[in-house]
Structure 1
């Protein structure tokens, strides 16, 4: 009973995949649909977009450090300013309003703003890199589902053909044309085909779940993938495009710029800062009011900090060296990725061409083996081997087709071009500058007009 139930479930699963492949193309999901769904529903993209907005706020925080600060303090307590005078103690209330503003700090504040801007740019490029990962995963999920459906159909057809072969072997055994060995061979091949069919069904179920993870929904009917995307005419041209615009390289370049600015900041931190201040204080001591005002300028600096400032400088220099080494490594990795994808695309094209020839030859061989078996010059094993050769060739073609599409889009990704904008997916593309332009001047949220615009932007993004 359990075996029958399992076979029934497997048959239903295969029927789902087969019906998806055979549904009318007008209702079928395209590869662009899959990538668009992945772009719109990716939690990974949402996460990195939020991280980018957090980096945008760091620019606002650095910008705020260059502006005046206004602080208040209200205290109430018991005071005894002169213990030698009896009855001089009293309860006192003090309120003060203090303003401080930076006059000059040797460019440390401005360098901090510029460094944060470089980090924002690096984070933007990191977001593009994540976008490429999301879209490439969708491409792989799409072609994997189609391959799994075709493999399931192929293995199901193999079971049907081998069932007929077993029936024919039994019939020939009844009339004495073949031996029990031929029947046993047919039975063994049929059992192996059924095992392969079960494996293909399982792989289809796995591919469908990966599709849902990549795009946010289970696959329906999938249309035939479109023509391969345009990439580059030569490997050198592909590498040149990648070196100029790959997001990983651009992010590494911005990280180098930020690291260089960090050296400037650490050097300026060793120098003093000129700060202006103004304070108004009101005091009520024992019912007597006192008001005082003062304005002044102070020069603040560190004489000795236990070697911390020197260590900060050396650390910044080391980080800059590491950033440059990272940029070099990133360039090498991008070059290698382009070369690998180019080679994989060439391999897939050659494999596809070879499997087409193999299939044609295997069909001729199978037809001849069957005819010769009827004449007695071929055995059942020869026919089964010919059928297996054709099955293997057809399975290889499915794999080669899948590999060709994946290699083409991997090449696009390695060139830095696998983006929703470049592919024209027809989705609302996230604008990284919209939020940055709203918060870069450090608006006071819910108070200033800029803060109100920020609220509106957050609501439009669905983040508030």
Structure 2
């Protein structure tokens, strides 16, 4: 939009009052146009917040990292389960004996080469539940890691929400500053023309020049902030933002603060993770206590021996039961149990800390949201009042009752009011999603994003029984691992 009133000397010259009125009206129209810019942009094909969150969910390296950590925790279960299976090893050795021996006064050389091979089998029969406790502790750790992954997912999506709205905010700031600068330059040209015909003083021109220079600096700052917001968006989402469409509505937060705190106490991933860590620590204590008790195993062996220097050979086998119990291990087992108890106490303390922190976060999030809503309403009133004041100052300037500086100040106040309203709208939107995250409901599933959500149980179900590579389940697991490697 371009507005300009040419002021010239002689016949047909536009008066100071009419020139000011034309320029002020142009500024007011430009401000209104900037305020409606987001709605007009939405008419073209644009990116929604849901699409942005879906891209962030699929792109996030942080999520990939923690999914891999979850798979590693799944393998701890498989390794613990394997201790209940038969352990089979093969052995082989080749021995060269040399020397001499004196028998009945005769010295005979010793030269023989023997080869021995065999298979050794060991099966755990009973260990007072030590292995079972370790399996259950590993399962609790898996469940805790799943909740950690859900917490990371919330962090990723909340960061994407903030990046989306910050790009919108800074784009509107740049547009607002560009429009203001364009109009101020027009006003500066008008002031110079009026100065040439003697309608204003040099002071009026200098004031307009100062305001143009100030706005140029503000525009540069706004453009720098926009560049940073775009980089943040690209880092989170994995692509450069296009035209971003403002969502039609915000998350439904009809539940009150107390109800939300209760929901968070039951379902927030940080609390559930801490609870699982306590359960795992309790089981680890039971396993450490069982490690002090006897361990019963069955053992079997098949062996073959060959004399490579002759025709002698052996074929042998054995089976037996074994009981092993610790007597003294330098205090190792007692220390391990005390360590497990200390870790259990730490996990319980952490649970209390996390519970209080989550409840506090919910309260803080609601307070921030309520404050943002009040600020937004105040900003709307500020814009309304600034528009009225701007019109009044403009009209008074046409009558000579106001100076150029008065009008410039009124323009700046209106500009600041509109900037505050833009920020207030963004702050309310981000605060609403912060409430969802504080409750524990800012996940791809809760938001119904159009993505294929990661199933944390899929890999666990493949490995929980510790499959061997040659089994059908093991071959299926190999295909899954190859697929993960290509991602």
State the TM bucket, normalised to the shorter chain: over 0.9
CA contact (8 A) 2:52 2:164 kept: yes
What is the CA deviation profile of residues 270-311 of structure 1, one whole-angstrom value per residue up to 9, with x for unaligned ones? 112111100111111343101121111111122111111111
> Match of 1:293, SS?
strand
Deviation by residue 1:71-93 (Cα, 9 ceiling, x = unmatched): 11110111369945524441110
Aligned partner of 2:215 in structure 1 is: 193
CA, structure 1 residues 228+279, in 2 after alignment: closer, same or farther (shift >3 Å)? same
> After superposition, where does 1:311-322 map in structure 2 within 5 Å?
311-322=335-346
TM-score normalised according to structure 2 size:
0.88
Q: Which residue of 2 aligns with 1:250?
A: 272
Which residue of the partner structure matches residue 456 of structure 1? 479
Question: Residue 252 of structure 1 aligns to a residue in which SS?
Answer: helix
Deviation at 1:169, TM superposition (A): 2.4
Q: 1:73 to 1:100 in 2, by over 3 A?
A: same
Provide Cα deviations, 1:374-400, integer angstroms capped at 9, x if missing partner.
211111111111111101111101111
Of residues 154, 162, 179, the one that matches 1:140 is 162
1:267 paired residue number:
289
Contact 2:99/2:109 (<8 A) preserved: no
Aligned residues of 2:38 and 2:246 also touching (Cα < 8 A)? no
Partner of 1:55: 73
- Deviation, structure 1 residue 454: 1.1
- Deviation of 1:19 after TM superposition, in Å, equals 9.9
Which of 27, 34, 40 matches 2:45?
27
The corresponding residue for 1:104 is: 126
Rounded to whole Å, the distance in 2 between the matches of 1:235 and 1:377 is 53
Change over 3 Å in CA distance of 1:81–1:448 after alignment to 2: farther
Aligned to 1:40: 58
Q: Aligned equivalents of 2:399 and 2:198: distance in 1?
A: 14
CA shift, 1:151, in A, is 0.3
Aligned residue number for residue 3 of structure 2: none
Alpha-carbon deviations, 1:301-336, whole Å to 9, x = none?
A: 221111111111111000000001111111111111
Please give the secondary structure, in 1, of the residue aligned with 2:400.
Answer: coil
Distance 1:376 1:177 in 2: 11
* Conservation of the 8 A alpha-carbon contact between 2:92 and 2:116: yes
Greater shift, 175-184 or 194-203, is seen at 175-184
Match of 1:117 among 139, 144, 150: 139
Between the aligned partners of 1:19 and 1:333, the Cα distance in structure 2 is: 40
Distance in 1 (alpha carbons) for counterparts of 2:269 and 2:277? 12
Distance across 1 between alignment mates of 2:294 and 2:38 = 72
Question: Contact conserved, 1:22 with 1:221, CA < 8 A, in 2?
Answer: no
The alpha-carbon deviation at position 232 of structure 1 amounts to: 4.0
Corresponding residue number in structure 2 for 1:364: 388
1:61-100 paired onto structure 2 within 5 Å: 61-79=79-97, 83-84=101-102, 86-100=108-122
SS at match of 1:117: helix
Cα separation, 1, equivalents of 2:256 and 2:132:
45
- Give yes or no for contact 1:31–1:226 (8 Å, CA) kept in 2: no
CA positional deviation for 1:231: 2.5
Post-superposition CA distance 1:395-420 (Å, at most 9, x none): 10111111111100111011110011
Corresponding residue for residue 26 of structure 2: none
Q: Which moved more, 1:172-181 or 1:386-395?
A: 172-181
Residue ranges of structure 1 left out of the alignment (5+ in a row):
1-17
Tell which structure's C-alpha radius of gyration is larger.
Answer: 2
Aligned counterpart, 2:334 = 310
- How does the TM-score come out when normalised to structure 1? 0.92
Cα distance per residue 1:142-178 (max 9 Å; x no partner): 0011001100001111102222332232233334333
- Deviant stretches of 4+, over 6 Å: 18-21
What is the distance in 1 between the residues matched to 2:330 and 2:457?
42
Separation in 1, partners of 2:365, 2:468: 49
- Cα deviation for residue 463 of structure 1 reads 5.1
Q: Which residue number in structure 1 is paired with residue 30 of structure 2?
A: none
Residues 1:433 and 2:451 aligned together:
no
Distance 1:245 1:84, change over 3 A: farther
**Could you tell me how far apart the structure 2 residues matched to 1:460 and 1:20 are?**
42
Change over 3 Å in CA distance of 1:81–1:291 after alignment to 2: farther
Structure 2: how far apart are the matches of 1:411 and 1:81?
84
Partner of 1:330: 354
Counterpart-to-counterpart distance in 2, 1:165 and 1:343: 44
Report which stretch shifted further, 283-292 or 204-213.
283-292
Indicate how the Cα distance of structure 1 residues 328 and 433 shifts in structure 2: closer, same or farther if over 3 A, else same: same
Deviation, 1:462, is 5.2
Show CA shifts across 1:78-125 (max 9, x none): 136994552444111001110001011110000010000000000100
Query: 1:59, 1:113 within 8 Å by CA — same for their partners in 2?
Result: yes
**Quick one: distance in 2 between partners of 1:79 and 1:278?**
28
